[in-house]
Amino acid sequence: MQTGGYGWTSRLFTDGEIAKQFSDAAMFARFASFEKALIHALAEAGLIEPADAERLVGQIAGFEPDPEAIATAVVRDGLPVPDYVRQLRAHVSGPGSSLLHHGATSQDLIDTATVQALARISAILGDRLDDLLALLDSLAARDGSNPLMAITRMQPALGFSTQDRLAAWRRPLETLRDQLPALRHRSGLLQFGGAIGTLQALGDRRESVARSLAKQLNLHWPGHSWHSARDPITAHATWMGDLSGALGKIGQDVALMALRGPQDIRLSDAGASSAMPHKQNPVTAERLVTLARYNATLVSGMHHAQIHEMERSGAAWMLEWMILPQMCETTGASLAAARALFKSIDRMGEPS
């Protein structure tokens, strides 16, 4: 899925490393991991002979889905799993093969693959956030004692230090970084409910199969499915909206500091104007503002996608698929832009 921009705008708003986590290859690999883990779990529960399970897992490992056929089927089915499973069933054979995908449903695979993608993405964003905080510390060490004019309600207020403004930028980012472990725990949930969320096809083996499946996938089993309770996903979306918002505030400040002049900030690598060669536009700062506003718009859509009718929804789920990858990529692009912005600051404040 291409998100955030097209053609000449794409490099402003996209993030290739993040986008890869939602690629067909990555998602289908996670589907395969789910199916292999499910076979092992069924064997542990005594539903498949261990030797048959090992052979089936080996067959699944060698399976290469046809992405084009799946993409075509998605228009009919509304999701990729039915054709993925159809292809996989045609690939495996032998005793126990009839229990492929047993007890599971499409949403189990997609939601589990999604939280696994979010786990990887949160690790990437966390590393970038740590890098950003280190850059802020370097700016504070270099320029923190330089005087600045504080601005309240768009008017000069009182004098303070560059360190004071940098601290106001840093605190929200530090808080968001500290929230990451709890966020990863909250969203690191196995989705496993079967057709209507009750795992009824597994009978009295449901709990043991679910716990084994979760352990193999390095996820938590909450004791129930969460097909229509989307807070594990929306918690991530809200966190990303907060992060891009904090970075957007920094971008807005830097743009206004650039307007006030070199006594506030000096930037290298500023943008050019086609009509006014003397201008140095704070493009990267502006980009942070745009990305923050975009994610603020998207997060409202994620909250709309929380509204699932009855036990499972197709419409709300599709909306989530449209929005979540864009939010992830926008957040990644925000962190990359913020890093570039901080590295372009030649000086903040005017040395006394």
Domains of the chain: 16-102 (1.10.275.10), 105-198+226-348 (1.20.200.10)
pLDDT of residue 280: 63
pLDDT of residue 155: 87
- Distance of alpha carbon 165 from alpha carbon 146, whole angstroms: 11
Ranges of the chain with pLDDT below 50: 1-3, 272-276
Work out whether the CA dihedral 130, 320, 306, 80 comes out positive or negative: negative
pLDDT of residue 115: 96
- Distance of alpha carbon 137 from alpha carbon 171, whole angstroms: 12
pLDDT of residue 275: 44
pLDDT of residue 132: 96
pLDDT of residue 253: 94
State pTM to two decimals: 0.90
- Distance of alpha carbon 87 from alpha carbon 70, whole angstroms: 9
Amino acid at 138: S
Nearest to 228 by CA among 197, 256, 206, 249: 197
pLDDT of residue 24: 93
Q: What is the mean pLDDT of the chain?
A: 90
Question: Which structure tokens are listed for 328?
Answer: 């992830």
pLDDT of residue 276: 44
